[in-house]
Amino acid sequence: MDSIPAISVDHLRVVRGDRIVLPELTCSVPPGRVTGLLGPSGSGKTTLMRAVVGVQRTSGGRITVLGEPAGSASLRHRVAYMTQAASVYKDISVRENVTYFARLVGAPRSRTDEVIDQVGLAAHARQLTGTLSGGQLSRVSLACALVGDPEMLVLDEPTVGQDPVLRRELWTDFRARAAAGTTILVSSHVMDEAARCDELLLLREGRLVAQDTPAGILAATGCEDFDAAFLALIEADQTAGAGA
C-alpha cells in the first residue's frame, strides 16, 4: 500500500479491568476504503474501535488517525463512531435525535431527512425512538453517525438485526461513501459482508491473525467462503499458540 494509512495502530496495549485485551496490536487501515474488522466474540474489536476514536484508556503504543493522535479534539468532526449498543435518546423522536447530532457536527438541516431515508426510517421519522424495534433503533444510531458526512466512519456491527434487503442497501451506501473518499472501519459477524470489504483485519484474542484483501484471504486458505476461511485461520492460530 503506497498511500499513508488513515489509521495506524502501533504496538497498542489495552488492559480492561484485570484483562489484557490487546497485548501489543499493530495494524493499519487504508484511506478511502472499507476495512472489515472480524474476529470471534471477545477478540477485541469494540476495544480497538474505542481506542481509534479516543474513548478507550490505553496502556501503551500509539494510534494515529488522519495524521493526528487518536482522540485529538481536531478529529471530533472528522470521525464518526457508531457504538455497538445504540446510543441515542429514547424519549425524543427519530428526527429529533438525528437533528441533534446534525447540529453537533454543523451539518445542514436538509441532511437529517436524507440520512433518515438512507437508513430506511422515513416512515418512522416522527416516532418516539424508545418505541422502535431493535433493528430500527440501531439504524437511528447509524443515521446519527452518517449525518455529518465525516471523513472517517467507525461502525461497530452496524447491520446487526437488519434484514437482507436493508443490509444490502446499507452496504451499497458504505461502498458509495468509500468511493467518494470516506474511510470506513466496520466490524461484523456476518461472513458474507467480508466479501464487500476492500481489506480485512482478523483478530483473535487481541492479536492480528490476518490482514489482507478478501481475495487474498480466500487464496491463502484455499477456502471457497469466508466462514471456512476464518475458521481455518483461527484454528491455525490456535494450534500455533498451543505449540509455542
Pick 47 or 99: Cβ nearer ligand ATP: 47
Residues in contact with ligand ATP by the rule CB under 6 A: 16-17, 19, 21, 39, 41-47, 84
State in angstroms the smallest separation of the CB of 41 from ligand ATP. Answer: 3
State in angstroms the smallest separation of the CB of 48 from ligand ATP. Answer: 7
Answer with the entry of Mg ion, ligand ATP, none that 43 interacts with (C-beta below 5 to 8 A by kind): ligand ATP
Answer with the entry of ligand ATP, Mg ion, none that 162 interacts with (C-beta below 5 to 8 A by kind): none
State in angstroms the smallest separation of the CB of 194 from ligand ATP. Answer: 14
State in angstroms the smallest separation of the CB of 209 from ligand ATP. Answer: 13
Give residue number: closest CB to ligand ATP.
Answer: 17
Pick 25 or 116: Cβ nearer Mg ion: 25
Dihedral angle computed from the Cα positions of residues 235, 236, 239 and 243, in that order, rounded to the nearest 10 degrees: -170
